[in-house]
Amino acid sequence: MSKVDKDLFDGLTSKASYGVCPECKGELLIKNGKNGPFIGCRNYPACEFIKPLTDTSVDVIKNIDESLCPQCNEVLQIKKGRFGLFIGCSAYPSCDYISSTQAKTETQVTCPLCKKGQLMEKTNRYGKRFFSCTDYPNCRYVVNFAPIPKACPKCDWLILIKKSGQYHCPQKTCRYIEDESIK
């Protein structure tokens, strides 16, 4: 036990080689940093070449020949990235236009906070739907359930939300609940 292999406790580098550094022709190794593992040059700090360990590339699924990018008039493509499918410009990275494959639908319910925008259905990166004001970033009103254009009879808030077959007031202080069958 008196002889301890230092490499067992050296968590900064890995023994396996991952190619040759394109800048200094040194050996590339897996290293650990504050943001996780990455591939870096053995000759650091003289050579500062690094690249991500995981592949963050985007796969092109299909060209949409009949649709052109509204920013640069190049062909749009259906692509698959780390958050799922999206429509992006074929001229990326010079053009960064991105459109979601899921259409955002307005609910025709006026935002109860700013009274200017409409509540629009959107989807977060995990696939969960929510409803937010179209006047974002000026108005940051958000509800997680479908809004109903009916005022709360208890607190006079301009909308109710449909949740579990019932209408609820979205105001936390109100707690009004009504069965969906009651109109």
The pLDDT averaged over each successive group of 10 residues in the chain (183 residues) is: 53 62 87 83 88 72 88 89 81 81 68 90 83 90 92 91 90 88 60
Residue 3 lies in a domain: no
Domain count of the fold of the chain: 3
- Tell me: do 40 and 79 sit in the same domain: no
Residue 126 lies in a domain: yes
- Tell me: do 110 and 166 sit in the same domain: yes
Residue 1 lies in a domain: no
- Tell me: do 23 and 37 sit in the same domain: yes
Residue 159 lies in a domain: yes
Q: Map tokens 């639908």 to a residue.
A: 105
- Tell me: do 29 and 69 sit in the same domain: no
State the pLDDT at residue 10: 52
Is residue 142 a contact partner of residue 136, using CB atoms and an 8 Å limit?
no
CA 80 to CA 60: how far, in whole Å?
6
- Domain boundaries, position 127: 105-179
Helix, coil or strand: residue 7: helix
Residue 156 lies in a domain: yes
Residue 65 lies in a domain: yes
> Going along the chain, which residue ranges are E strands?
28-33, 36-41, 50-52, 59-68, 75-81, 84-89, 98-100, 105-110, 118-123, 129-133, 142-143, 146-148, 160-163, 166-168, 177-179
pTM of the model: 0.48
State the pLDDT at residue 83: 67
